[in-house]
Structure 1
Amino acid sequence: MNAPSVQAASLGSESQGSAVRAASEESLLQRLNGLRDARVVVTGGGGLVGSRVVALARRAGAAVTVLDRFDAYPGDVRELFGLDRLGAEAVAGDICDRETVRGVVKGADYVIHAAAYADVAACTRHPDVAFEANVRGTETVLEEIAASEVRRLVFISSAAVYGNGDPGVTGPQVFREDQPLVPVSVYANTKLWAEHQARLMLAAPDRPEFTVLRYFSVYGDPQIPKPGSHSWMVAWMSMHAHLGLPIHLNGGGVQVRDLVHVDDIAAATVLALVEEKAAGQIINVGTGKPTSVRDVADLIAPHYPGSRQIVTPLPEGDPLGGYAATERMRELLRFTPRIDVREGVERYVRWLKANPQAVPEWLRATAADRSA
């Protein structure tokens, strides 16, 4: 009997992987059964993470309203997120507009507050804009939720609040929810303020419940980098290699990140709405595994033979980083991320090669200028 071909084995492996993912999805939806016919509001639901959260909440049977300014990305990028195809109500508005916030919160069972000026570099350049969106806007959302019948708020924070962690520790370090926090960027400062404000405003017994999620480094298709940003390194590096541009290793690439796929981020976020033990808690959402910037470049490089890496300066406000302590996530959300960084990077590169038109025009122009 002939041995099975490599292609057949690969197809069999892919088939098994699809079956496992389908079973995992079914199990997740069973746990989210309490959202059926509930009304969920997602501020900032028009972006990569928000659209994935909306998609999962809709699959769980929730009626979803998205509040977003829809100006963070051009229309062709927003189309990639597929929000228009999810059956959610979309409200174009600003979280600083009290009447708009009050209107979408009225009658809601749950709120996920993800709207923010979320680019670290942009917040550093424009702290006034960061304050307006991340502080004043969040205060408006919190005040309206405090006066509402909402059952629970899930506030989206960031691992940026940890800064560089304990200066006495050398090498990769684990970030724990109860450790001292020393932010090193404007963005992180605004997120930490919002965490404290959510606790101050919602911790009373007669107020809606709240849960704070600290996202670690989110990635996954169809993530698109923004000009002047140093966030979203999987997308940045992959697109540079795709265009024949050098892969930048900011600060030599020694910074550590805990890369967590957007599908896992969405699952943890929606679970935080319904898991009883998550009420009143701050929870890391990460894999618990450190990955350096250079490691990511080395995972991308084999997909683009001939790609090269160059060392570039460390941007202002870019932390040396660390990785998540995941005990609370596993206990309180009963969740463990399923997609490791190797699989996630392969998924992104495969998507990019299948959708080369997703590379933004401004980045194509950079490549054209350098080849001229």
Structure 2
Amino acid sequence: MKILVTGGAGFVGSFLCESLHKSGYEVRIFDNYEPQVHSGSQSNLGALLQPNGLPLKGIEILYGDTRSPTQLDAALKDVDAVIHLAAQVGVGQSMYEIHRYVDHNTVGTAVLLELLASRKHSVKKLVVASSMSIYGEGGARCSNCGDVTPTLRDGGQMKLGDWEVRCPICNRTASPTATNELKPVLPTSIYAITKRDQEEMCLVVGRAYDIPAVALRFFNIYGPRQSLGNPYTGVAAIFSSRLLNNHAPVVFEDGNQTRDFVHVTDIVQAITLALAKDEANGQVFNVGTGRPTSIKDVATILARKMRRDVAPRIENKFREGDVRHCYADIDKIRRHLGYKPAVELEVGIEDLIAWAEDQQAEDRFEHAAAELAKRGLAR
């Protein structure tokens, strides 16, 4: 099989393309090398290149933008499946670069789907990267009302430092529960809306044109090759960059908000299963570990393992669109696809650190935080 991977030179894409190539697939990488993500001279594709810099046999690398029908049409030629990873990432930035996020994520996906709908092609499978961000707040349970679907926390409540989620029925404090695929999606940022767009558009068009499509809702991905110079990327990379520059990791709210941190190689495992298994067709799956970890704990673990005597700086401030708790229920992907996360957080963080310590880490967090504050998105 020949696989087209949009965003294939990126953090997740590069690991995926290496894995697919080792498994005997021909791989066509399509990427626009977004400067914010591909800063510096570090290439994610080194393992797929010969000593002379040319791609290995079975690897093709195309520069291109998903918003270009001409470029994307050429990339689709003779491929058997598409793994659509290309997207602008970052919740905070999406709230003021609205046109750019919608243009790349929603419109770029529309271009891909329109080509599949209107041109002759050989695509027999479409896997799209969705995101846990589309849920908004994760699952919650009220001691009085049972399982509930919380909405975004009220700004007045947050200004008082009252961080926990409230029951939407009786207003009591609710406890977090694992978030399953049946929870209603309530995106709280432009980024999240565009990821919902990508997911729903791919599933709808796939069904209409008999192209088996799968949407994978990735939780908080971390690992080597995640851009250390992008202050809107994963929190583990942002904290690593801060610590490498001997700066304290900055933690919003009280630091006790929780996420599900999943290593990039487990993401690759899930994508590969979705590509290969017919049981995945037409379905949506969470991809995480099923274990919640507080943001404060991530900062503490990183500092300890990097031997930096730097405590996290707890801001007791909040950012517009942030959710309190969201971690994955992965029962569905376990049962249907046989997915089993293999990398424990403490081990995976060592993997990230070993790579990060060889990089030139530009800490741009303060600039990004100032931009959010100036726009009233962090307060």
Give the TM-score of the pair, scaled to structure 2.
0.80
What CA distance in whole angstroms lies between the structure 2 residues aligned with 1:363 and 1:199?
36
Unmatched 5+ residue regions in structure 2? 50-54, 139-148, 151-166, 168-172, 369-379
Contact 2:229 2:241 in 1 (8 A): no
What CA distance in whole angstroms lies between the structure 2 residues aligned with 1:176 and 1:362?
34
What CA distance in whole angstroms lies between the structure 2 residues aligned with 1:269 and 1:95?
20
Alignment partner, residue 247 of structure 2? 245
SS of alignment partner, residue 106 of structure 2: helix
Give the structure with the higher percent helix. Answer: 1
What CA distance in whole angstroms lies between the structure 1 residues aligned with 2:246 and 2:229?
18
Matching residue's letter, 2:214:
T
Matching residue's letter, 2:134:
V
Contact 2:229 2:364 in 1 (8 A): no
SS of alignment partner, residue 227 of structure 2: coil
Which stretch of structure 1 is more off in the superposition, 170-179 or 62-71?
170-179
How far has the Cα of 1:141 moved from its partner?
Answer: 0.8
Alignment partner, residue 198 of structure 1? 202
String of CA shifts for 1:129-158, please: whole Å, max 9, x gaps: 111111111011112223432110001100
Matches for 1:164-179 after TM superposition, within 5 Å: 164-165=137-138, 166-167=149-150, 168=167, 170-179=174-183
Contact 1:47 1:78 in 2 (8 A): no
Distance 1:252 1:82, change over 3 A: farther
Alignment partner, residue 122 of structure 2? 149
Aligned residues: 325
Q: Runs ≥4 in structure 1, deviation > 4 angstroms? A: 361-366
Matching residue's letter, 1:132:
D
Distance 1:363 1:316, change over 3 A: closer
String of CA shifts for 1:285-341, please: whole Å, max 9, x gaps: 100111110111121232224212211222222222311111111122211110011
Alignment partner, residue 321 of structure 1? 325
What CA distance in whole angstroms lies between the structure 2 residues aligned with 1:80 and 1:66?
12
How far has the Cα of 1:61 moved from its partner?
Answer: 0.8
Alignment partner, residue 279 of structure 2? 277
String of CA shifts for 1:237-270, please: whole Å, max 9, x gaps: 1222232211211222122110000011111112
String of CA shifts for 1:2-45, please: whole Å, max 9, x gaps: xxxxxxxxxxxxxxxxxxxxxxxxxxxxxxxxxxxx10000011
Matches for 1:59-208 after TM superposition, within 5 Å: 59-72=22-35, 73-74=37-38, 76=40, 78-82=42-46, 85=49, 87=56, 88-146=59-117, 147=119, 148-165=121-138, 166-167=149-150, 168=167, 170-204=174-208, 206-208=209-211
Matching residue's letter, 1:326:
I
How far has the Cα of 1:214 moved from its partner?
Answer: 0.4
1:344 aligned to which of 317, 330, 348: 348
Alignment partner, residue 264 of structure 1? 266
Which stretch of structure 1 is more off in the superposition, 53-62 or 160-169?
160-169
What CA distance in whole angstroms lies between the structure 1 residues aligned with 2:190 and 2:47?
29
What CA distance in whole angstroms lies between the structure 1 residues aligned with 2:314 and 2:46?
36
Distance 1:157 1:90, change over 3 A: same
Matches for 1:33-52 after TM superposition, within 5 Å: 38-52=1-15
Which stretch of structure 1 is more off in the superposition, 326-335 or 284-293?
326-335
Alignment partner, residue 212 of structure 2? 209
Unmatched 5+ residue regions in structure 1? 1-37, 367-372
How far has the Cα of 1:364 moved from its partner?
Answer: 12
Contact 1:46 1:78 in 2 (8 A): no
How far has the Cα of 1:363 moved from its partner?
Answer: 7.3
Alignment partner, residue 296 of structure 2? 294
What CA distance in whole angstroms lies between the structure 1 residues aligned with 2:196 and 2:10?
22
Matching residue's letter, 2:188:
V
Which stretch of structure 1 is more off in the superposition, 168-177 or 282-291?
168-177
Alignment partner, residue 218 of structure 1? 221
Alignment partner, residue 141 of structure 2? none
CA RMSD in angstroms, aligned pairs only: 2.2
Distance 1:49 1:77, change over 3 A: farther
Query: Share of identical aligned residues, percent?
Result: 30
Matching residue's letter, 1:172:
P
What CA distance in whole angstroms lies between the structure 2 residues aligned with 1:272 and 1:163?
24
What CA distance in whole angstroms lies between the structure 2 residues aligned with 1:202 and 1:365?
41
How far has the Cα of 1:83 moved from its partner?
Answer: 6.3
How far has the Cα of 1:105 moved from its partner?
Answer: 1.1
What CA distance in whole angstroms lies between the structure 2 residues aligned with 1:127 and 1:78?
29
Matching residue's letter, 1:342:
E
Which stretch of structure 1 is more off in the superposition, 101-110 or 220-229?
220-229
What CA distance in whole angstroms lies between the structure 1 residues aligned with 2:32 and 2:44?
17
What CA distance in whole angstroms lies between the structure 2 residues aligned with 1:208 and 1:77?
38
SS of alignment partner, residue 349 of structure 1: helix
